[in-house]
Amino acid sequence: MNSYVKAAHAHFTAEQAEAEAVLETYFNNSVGIGEHSDLPEEIYKWVDKLSNAEDALTVLGRFKRQQNGKATADPENKSRLGHKV
């Protein structure tokens, strides 16, 4: 596997883990909540980060499968915006 793909996968896996840890703290540990006056906005921010990391890992997985000569996960071979890829 390409070193850049490995690095990107590691990066987004770390971002995913960080976002999950922060959200778990916000949802399950009142100590972590006290430092943020606008908790809903903080939660939205970390949900966006988690979503972005998960989306990026999906794209990298598709790229890795293509590099290995396997079919893409999207049977219509379209991006989320509906464009052919």
Going from N- to C-terminal start, the domains of the chain cover 3-67
pTM above 0.85, yes or no: no
* Model pLDDT, residue 70: 64
CA distance 46 to 43: 5
CA distance 53 to 45: 12
* Model pLDDT, residue 15: 98
* Model pLDDT, residue 32: 58
The values of phi and psi at residue 73, to 5°, are -70, -25
Query: What is the pLDDT tens value at each position of the chain, 85 positions in all?
Result: 689 989 999 999 999 999 999 999 888 886 656 666 788 898 999 999 999 999 999 999 998 888 888 654 555 554 444 444 4
By the 8 A CB rule, do 63 and 6 touch? Answer: no
As given in the structure block, the two tokens for residue 3 are 């070193």
Q: At what angle do helices 39-67 and 3-28 cross, to 10 degrees?
A: 150
CA distance 33 to 47: 15
* Model pLDDT, residue 83: 47
